[in-house]
Amino acid sequence: MPSPNQATFFVENLLTWYEENGRHDLPWRADAATPFNVLVAELMLQQTSAGQVLNVYGDFVQKYPTPESILDTPQEELADDIESLGLRKRTRYFREASEQLVENYDSSVPDTRSELLELQGVGEYTATSVLAHAFEKDVAAVDTNVARILSRVFGLDYDDKPEASENWELAEELLPSGRSSDYIHALIDFGAEVCTASNPSCESCPLEGICEYRSEESS
């Protein structure tokens, strides 16, 4: 586990980078995004790039602002509206999750991990992302990008295992109280722009001073 100084260095430099370089214009990150908008975005983003989601998200949430609006639409029409995202099984996710929200939660998105995990299509990462981004809960979320960053910087052996408990425990340990949404978004953007899977930009990385991967590459 990192020392307190390493943890502080990591979080402060990551958040500073995010403030200057993050993708703040993504519509599902806007303050006006409702919890249902956030849930929709997180379901869309599963195995799909932000660029692809941008092509459909705006029109989708305008047409489907509530779970009821999804249930009132024929399944084939709903499938056509997300066709460009691939993975047509998400049509079922949207419909079944919307049905659960209407029947069990008075059409509102629940704000607990256990209840979110009951929703169709929602796994650990999606649940924690919704908690952080829609409800400002102090939780961390680990996907492939985040696992890669943590493993490289701190010398873990779980860069290709986002589900590994070691990654989640470290992400939680580093979590800055009250800034979970920024923290998660910063890690996602940093993994997409700097600490990429191939050809990472180590020379311009603000985490270079504590990164074990960079130290090994330089030796």
Judge if 214 and 200 occupy the same domain.
yes
Q: What is the pLDDT of residue 193?
A: 94
Nearest to 82 by CA among 47, 56, 58: 56
Residue 17 and residue 73 in one domain: no
Residues in the chain: 219
Reply yes or no on whether 172 is catalytic. no
Annotation says 125 is catalytic: yes
Task: Tell me what pLDDT residue 218 has.
Answer: 61
Query: Are residue 91 and residue 53 in the same domain, yes or no?
Result: yes
Q: 36 and 83 in one domain? A: yes
**Given 64, 93, 143, 189, which residue is catalytic?**
143
pTM assigned to the model: 0.91
Shared domain for 45 and 129, answered yes or no, is yes
CB 208, CB 214: distance < 8 Å: yes
Determine the 3-state secondary structure of 208 from DSSP. helix
Output the domain CATH number for residue 13: 1.10.1670.10
Judge if 131 and 163 occupy the same domain.
no
Of 18, 57, 64, 125, catalytic: 125
- CA separation for the pair 179, 80 (Å, rounded): 37
Q: Do 42 and 105 belong to one domain? A: yes
The pLDDT profile of the chain, 219 residues, written as one tens digit per residue, is 788 899 999 999 999 999 999 999 999 999 999 999 999 999 999 989 999 999 999 999 999 999 999 999 999 999 999 988 887 778 999 999 999 999 999 999 999 999 999 999 999 999 999 999 999 999 999 999 999 999 999 998 866 788 888 999 999 999 999 999 999 999 999 999 999 999 999 999 999 999 998 887 665
Number of domains in the chain: 2
Domain-terminating residue out of 79, 114, 135: 135
CA distance 28 to 121: 18
Instruction: Identify whether residues 48 and 112 lie together within a single domain.
Output: yes
* Residue 143 bears catalytic tag: yes
Does residue 150 sit in the same domain as residue 105? no
The one catalytic residue in 18, 42, 93, 183 is: 42
Q: Which amino acid is at 98?
A: S
